[in-house]
Amino acid sequence: MSLNKKSVDDINVKGRRVLVRCDFNVPLKEGKITDETRINAALPTIKKLINDGGKVILCSHLGKVKNGPNEGESLAPVAVKLSEKLGKEVKFISDYHVTGEEATKAVAEMNEGDVILLQNTRFRGAEETKNGEEFSKELADLADDYVCDAFGSSHRAHASVAGVTKFITAKGGSNVVGYLMQKEIDFLGNAVENPVRPFVAILGGAKVADKLNVISNLLEKCDTLIIGGGMAYTFLKAQGYEIGKSLVDDTKIDYCKEMMEKAEKLGKKLLLPVDTTIAAGFPDPIDAEIEVEVVPSDAIPADKEGLDIGTKTAELYADAVKSAKTVVWNGPMGCFEMPNFANGTETVAKALSETDAVTIIGGGDSAAAVNQLGYGDKMTHISTGGGASLEFLEGKELPGVAAANDK
Active site members:
38, 207, 364, 387
Burial class (CB in 10 A: 0-12, 13-18, 19+), 303: exposed
Question: What angle separates helix 343-354 from helix 364-372, to the nearest 10 degrees?
Answer: 80
Q: What is the DSSP letter of 309?
A: E
Output 281-290 pairs: Cβ under 8 A, ≥24 positions apart: 281/245, 281/305, 282/307, 282/335, 282/338, 283/338, 283/340, 286/337, 286/338, 286/339, 287/338, 287/339, 290/340
Peptide bond into 399 cis (omega under 30): no
The number of helix segments (H) and strand segments (E) in the chain equals 16, 17
Q: How far apart are CA 330 and CA 201, in angstroms?
A: 8
Is the CB of residue 204 less than 8 Å from the CB of residue 332? yes
Strand order in the sheet with 326-330: 269-271, 224-227, 199-203, 326-330, 358-361, 381-382
- Cα separations in angstroms, 219 against 213, 268, 384: 10, 7, 24
| Cα atoms in the 13 Å half-sphere on the side-chain side of 145 | 24
Q: What is the DSSP letter of 73?
A: G
Phi (first) and psi of residue 361, to 5 degrees: -105, 120
Q: Is the dihedral of CA 260, 265, 266, 267 positive or negative?
A: positive
Radius of gyration, CA atoms only, the chain: 23
Q: How far apart are CA 117 and CA 59, in angstroms?
A: 6
Is the CB of residue 204 less than 8 Å from the CB of residue 333? yes
Q: How far apart are CA 23 and CA 42, in angstroms?
A: 8
